[in-house]
Structure 1
Amino acid sequence: MDREERVHLVSRNTEEVVTEDELSAIFAESETPTVYIGLAPTGEMHIGHFTTMRKLADFLNAGLTVKVLVADLHAHLDDEKSPFDLLDARTDYYQEAIEGMIDAAGADGSQIEFIRGRDFELERDYSLDLLRMAADTTISRVQRAGSEVVRQSDNPKLGGLIYPLMQTLDIPALDADIAYGGIDQRGIYMLSREILPEHGFETPICVFAPLLSGLSGGKMSASDESSKVNLTDAEDVVIDKITDAYCPQGEVEENGVLEYLRFLVFPILEERGEPFVIDRPEKYGGDIVYDDYDDLEADFVAEDLHPLDLKKATGAYISDIIDPIRERFAAQRDLLAAAYPEKYD
């Protein structure tokens, strides 16, 4: 695979790459650059996470070394979103869920290196570098950087101010050339690009995934069950959620159904070498087969594809895609119960 193909694999279906020139250059310098993503083990993982994790299959296929940081300390520092006594259980759950998503996306989850925050973030050198960064970084600067990630208040806890600096320092601590995350992480990683060179580290390349709209319209909410598909939702629940989803005829903006298709379903079908098939009775035109998402979107915008037909097919495909993950956790209810006792005990 040549350099251009590798750059395409890394950058496709992303929101932004900072910068593509730097990405191309790193492939010229290194045969196996390292990309990392950090996830704080807080609430249960859902299809929004799956869309982000699916991208790791592209990274593996492009020949990158992939590291996943399960950022347990971050989960507690951000306004104690995870109680300290649940960190180990939630970390175990996140690792299992991520491996399941990677396998379901058609890649090999065993090729990914998992690291836990406490494995290195308590070391002497890390602490010293963190304190040096804290000494010359203002409160307003870190608040601005973490505004889309860390819980904000008029009287913030100190943990939320340390969080962006730790996320910045995680990049060189993990020997990562590329930092990957949702576009909501942009503020923190732009801070990283500014201050890491000031402390003798390399400027990281940043790759950002899009954030999906909620099924009820607007931003997806982890607290709104109707706005997302959970990885453990039963088939009938998935289909009901998609059937009830916001999907007005011809509209693309804030259309979670189309976003699920673009960023999750079609990339996985491409990996499998399969088309997207919409079953329709002959009196309504018969079945429609799509090999390309853009063709489907064009038909939807032109109102040649009815929302109900689209939603029925999408629900079935999404249920099929998450089925291996659903089965994985059906056999490990104790893992879910340990991580989220208030829901599964």
Structure 2
Amino acid sequence: MDPYDLVARNTVEIVTEEELRNTLDQTVKRVYAGYEPSGEIHLGHLVTINKLIDMKEAGFSVVVLLADLHAFLNRKGTLEEVRELAEYNRACIEAVGLKGAEFVIGTDLQLDPEYQLQVLELSQQVTLNRAKRSMDEVGRAMENPTVSQMVYPIMQMVDIAALKVDAAVGGIDQRKIHMLAREYLGAINKRPPVCVHTPIINGLDGKKMSSSAGNVVSVADSEEEIRKKIRKAFCPPETGGNPIMEIFSHHIFPRLGSIQIKRPEKYGGDREFTSMQEFEAAYAAGEIHAMDAKNACADGLVEVLAPAYEFIMSTKRG
């Protein structure tokens, strides 16, 4: 696949497309995504992890920021708790398929005096209202924000500068923070990044994905748990807003390249699909039953997540 198409697939926005094309022409190019260590890696995280895998294949050096200090500021736990989770999340991210990336722990980067000075310099530029708006999608309890949550987006801007990356990957909920970076990094003589935004996919019930709601598939789920969750998932006749279709689009086709629909001859027999577009059209036309789609979805997820699950089980046995 063409490098640009590889980066652009399954995204909702690239800011800007021209800058991305120019960056792809560079001999050396770096991209990063940051993750707050706050629990198990699940399908929501895997959307951006898969995009980093795409960008690595397109020639980018990949940096993963395990943002323990960000998680602490965003009330995700004590520093000790989030640091411990950061190392565990790193191993899971590698096990699920992102090989050869550079992993950076937030506190190893963000407590440097030069970093902190840049945070203070940018804090003079950004208004409280702008900082709050940028955190509305990603912060906790933003109806009563703390000062720490106002520092969060400014630190994320400095992360981009300190990591010396050309591009930033994040869900579309990161857009306002990324736009702050594009607007204000020039104030500290740093180049703004290309921003690659992925969609926020639905939970298995078709509602907002949330670990607390139990509508996610985690890398810690066994094959039995995955199949049980997928059997119960919302899968309407329509493809739009259909969580099963989203899993195929973002997790199965990009990683496996094809799927098999296995069914008796009286129901049409087995069918193989080698593209999401072909499969989506068949499903929308009623050629594929929802339960057949769910069974293929479970098969694909089990295969994609197996290495991470095996790693988790090995650590428990150890």
TM-score bin, normalised by smaller chain: over 0.9
CA distance in 2, matches of 1:27, 1:248: 39
Match of 1:298 in 2: 281
**1:258 pairs with 2:254:** no
**1:268 pairs with 2:255:** yes
Please state whether the residue corresponding to 1:196 is helix, strand or coil: helix
Structure 1 residue aligned with 2:136, among 141, 147, 150?
A: 147
Tell me, yes or no, if the aligned pair for 2:122 and 2:187 is still in contact at 8 Å.
Answer: no
CA distance in 1, matches of 2:306, 2:293: 20
Q: How does 1:217-232 map to 2 (within 5 A)?
A: 217-225=206-214, 227-232=215-220
Structure 2 residue aligned with 1:327, among 310, 313, 316?
A: 310
CA distance in 1, matches of 2:12, 2:21: 17
Alpha-carbon offset, residue 84 of structure 1: 1.9
Output the aligned Cα RMSD: 1.5
Alpha-carbon offset, residue 276 of structure 1: 0.8
CA distance in 2, matches of 1:292, 1:153: 41
State the TM-score, normalized to the length of structure 2. Answer: 0.96
**1:45 pairs with 2:32:** no
CA distance in 1, matches of 2:109, 2:90: 17
Deviations 1:70-99 (A, max 9, x none): 011000001x21222212211111111111
Q: How does 1:171-182 map to 2 (within 5 A)?
A: 171-182=160-171
CA distance in 2, matches of 1:334, 1:114: 25
- Match of 1:260, as an amino acid? I
Tell me, yes or no, if the aligned pair for 1:41 and 1:82 is still in contact at 8 Å.
Answer: no
Deviations 1:183-227 (A, max 9, x none): 1111100111111123321121100111111111122112121x1
Tell me, yes or no, if the aligned pair for 1:54 and 1:101 is still in contact at 8 Å.
Answer: no
Structure 2 residue aligned with 1:278, among 236, 261, 270?
A: 261
What is the number of residues matched between the two proteins?
Answer: 318
CA distance in 2, matches of 1:152, 1:138: 19
**1:72 pairs with 2:72:** no
CA distance in 2, matches of 1:155, 1:320: 43
Q: How does 1:1-345 map to 2 (within 5 A)?
A: 5-28=2-25, 30-78=26-74, 80-102=75-97, 109=99, 111-225=100-214, 227-249=215-237, 251-270=238-257, 275-333=258-316
CA distance in 2, matches of 1:326, 1:332: 10
- Match of 1:174, as an amino acid? L
Alpha-carbon offset, residue 43 of structure 1: 2.0
Tell me, yes or no, if the aligned pair for 1:36 and 1:67 is still in contact at 8 Å.
Answer: yes
- Match of 2:82, as an amino acid? L
Which segments of 5 or more consecutive residues in structure 2 lack a partner in the other structure?
none
- Match of 2:92, as an amino acid? A
CA distance in 1, matches of 2:265, 2:29: 51
Please state whether the residue corresponding to 1:150 is helix, strand or coil: coil
Alpha-carbon offset, residue 18 of structure 1: 0.5
State the TM-score, normalized to the length of structure 1. Answer: 0.89
Please state whether the residue corresponding to 2:260 is helix, strand or coil: strand
Alpha-carbon offset, residue 231 of structure 1: 0.7
Runs of 4+ deviating beyond 6 Å: none
Which segments of 5 or more consecutive residues in structure 1 lack a partner in the other structure?
104-108, 336-345
Alpha-carbon offset, residue 334 of structure 1: 8.2
CA distance in 2, matches of 1:153, 1:234: 35
